[in-house]
Amino acid sequence: MAASSGPQSTSGPGGLDDFSLLLAPREIVDGEGGEPPRHGRDQRKRRRWPWVLAVVLLLVALVGGGGAAAYSTYPEQVKALFGWKNDYTGSGTAPIDVVVAQGDSGSDIAAVLERSGVTKTEAAFYDLLLKTKPEPSLEPGTYRLRKHMSAAAALKALEDPAARVVSSVAIPEGSTAAQILKITAKSTGVSLADLQAVAKDPGALGVPSSAPSIEGYLFPATYTFEPKTSPTKMLQTMVDRMFKALDEAGVPKADRERVLTLAGLVQKEGNGGDDAKVARVFLNRIANGMPLQSDATVSYGAGGTTVVPTKRQYKDDNRYNTYLHKGLPAGPISNPGDKAIAAALHPAKGSWLFFVTVDLSTGETVFSTTDAQHEKAADRFRAWLAKHPDYAK
């Protein structure tokens, strides 16, 4: 075997020559037996990527299982080494509704945001929560967010009440149940027929079996309902709020129907300022065996909505016509607020037997103890009504 004429090579498996070749610039390697580089600096830039890839492959080979362990323990940090970011930038793209459930922790909310495509990672939002002082207080509810939001933008939106997706239902004092159902349907988009079906079974909502209907048991207030709230839940909320008002006023459960019947009448006939006097008039008339003669009950019982009943309505013999039947009407004729309930419980002291509102635009009311005084006040009202005929429609 002929001896080698040059220096002995140490190349081969595990040898230094293979390693040096791997790391050598491509131009030098090509220059050893290949064609010389043809594009100078541009060619070196174009060939830099294979060199970087070779280094990465070498590092992976050297680290081996240790690299996998590092990634499984610190995935975000390892990704960051290669320029990957765990957060989006900006305020997002397409709108999306996200639900924060009652009892959700910060990590729960972070997971929901990632699953919904709002934030890029769970960690981006959760780490921000941990760093934010004082600690954010996020209320349960449905929020209108956007996909691909930065964690900071998502947190800002969740703290903004304007981002809450709710339906607001404003119920005026003295509204009837029929009016409340229409207001609720219009404000929430829930079917009026579905609300009416629920209202037909007031006992299922806790209304006493003695009540002729749900009338009087829907507390007038402003309610906010989350999307997909059922008609039953909406009306149950209003009934529960009325029970709360009665309990706070000190009304025993056994007296709820009677108090609401008087309060609903006072709410319709009173002007807010004289409610306690109106309640006293009705109680005085009951005590004296006199019919209440309330126009509001006549209109309600006949299915009317006018302030002044028609002649036919006055003759309609129903359980709410207090011209034809003595005592309180069959049940509430409206849904009273706190002031009317208080007036029914604490009527003013006085011997009045009559009252009449002489100016419907201002609510001015005259209270009398005799027929003669009352007729005088009634003449004032008739004169006012003649000048304002639209109020009788």
336 within 8 A of 216, measured Cβ to Cβ:
yes
Rounded to an integer, what distance in angstroms lies between the CA atom of residue 283 and that of residue 345? 11
- Poorest-confidence range of 21-35, 113-127, 365-379? 21-35
State whether 69 and 111 are in the same domain: no
The neighbouring-strand residues paired with 367 are: 355
Q: What is the pLDDT of residue 306?
A: 77
Phi/psi of residue 346, nearest 5 degrees: -130, 70
DSSP 265: H
- Give me the chain's average pLDDT, please: 85
Give the pLDDT confidence score for residue 32 in this predicted structure: 45
In which band, very low, low, confident or very high, does the pLDDT at 13 lie, cut at 50, 70 and 90? Answer: very low
To which residue do tokens 């009950």 refer?
A: 297
What integer pLDDT is reported at residue 82 of this predicted model? Answer: 54
Do 221 and 349 sit in the same domain of this protein? no
8 belongs to a structural domain: no
Look at residues 382, 285, 272, 262 and name the one whose alpha carbon lies nearest to residue 334: 262
Neighbour count for residue 103 (Cβ, 10 Å):
7
At residue 79, the pLDDT reads: 59
Whole-angstrom distance, CA of residue 209 vs CA of residue 331: 12
Residue 37 covered by a domain: no
Report the distance separating Cα 318 and Cα 200, nearest Å. Answer: 20
* Number of folded domains that form the chain: 4
- Whether residue 10 is contained in a domain is answered as no
The pLDDT of 127-149, averaged and rounded, is 94
**CATH number of the domain bearing residue 115:** 3.30.1490.480
Closest C-alpha to 198, from 173, 233, 156: 233
Is 205 part of any domain?
yes
- Domain C-terminal end among 163, 185, 212: 163
Among 354, 303, 357, 294, residue whose Cα is nearest residue 321: 294
Amino acid at 130: L
Q: Are residues 307 and 220 in the same domain?
A: no
Burial 54-93 (b: 16+ CB within 10 A, else e): eeeeeeeeeeeeeeeeeeeeeeeeeeeeeeeebbbeeebe
Q: What is the pLDDT of residues 228-237, one digit of tens each?
A: 999 999 999 9
- The answer on 366 and 279 residing in a single domain is yes
What is the mean pLDDT of the segment spanning 201-223?
96
Are residue 289 and residue 348 in the same domain, yes or no? yes
Confidence band of 83 (pLDDT split at 50, 70, 90): low
Q: Of 178, 341, 320, 175, which Cα lies nearest the Cα of 262?
A: 341
Q: Which residues contact 67 (CB under 8 A, 6 or more apart)?
A: 59, 60
Please write the tens of the pLDDT for every residue from 301-325. 999 877 788 899 999 999 999 999 9
pLDDT of residue 360: 87
Q: What pLDDT was estimated at residue 330?
A: 96
pLDDT for residue 20 is more than 50: no
Q: Give percent of the chain with pLDDT exceeding 90.
A: 72
pLDDT of residue 27: 42
Per the domain annotation, does 179 fall within a domain?
Answer: yes
Model confidence band, residue 124 (pLDDT cutoffs 50, 70, 90) = very high
The pLDDT of residue 75 is: 62
Query: What gap in Å lies between CA 207 and CA 307, rounded to an integer?
Result: 28
Residues 352, 265 share a domain: yes
Q: Are residues 383 and 259 in the same domain?
A: yes
**What's the confidence (pLDDT) of residue 18?**
43
Residues 109 and 64 grouped into a single domain: no
Residue 384 has pLDDT above 90, yes or no: yes
Domain of 76? 20-27+45-84
Residues 285 and 156 in one domain: no
Domain endpoint, select from 201, 226, 248: 248
Residue 40 domain-assigned?
no
Residues contacting residue 111 through CB under 8 Å, at least 6 positions apart:
122
- Percentage of the chain beyond pLDDT 70 is 78
Which of 187, 217, 248 represents a domain boundary (last residue)?
Answer: 248
Output 5 or 341, whichever has higher pLDDT: 341
Same domain, 380 and 264: yes
* pLDDT over 70 (residue 17): no
The DSSP letter of residue 94 is S
pLDDT at position 22 is 35
Distance CA(262)–CA(194), nearest Å, equals 29
Number of Cβ atoms within 10 Å of the Cβ of 31: 12
373 located within any domain = yes
Burial class (CB in 10 A: 0-12, 13-18, 19+), 265: buried
Do residues 344 and 280 share a domain? yes
pLDDT at 2 over 90: no
Torsion of CA 218, 219, 224, 226, to 10 degrees: -30
Q: Are residues 191 and 227 in the same domain?
A: yes
Return the structure tokens found at 69.
């362990």
Is residue 6 in some structural domain?
Answer: no
Question: Is residue 56 over pLDDT 90?
Answer: no
Residue 320 tokens, joined: 């709410």
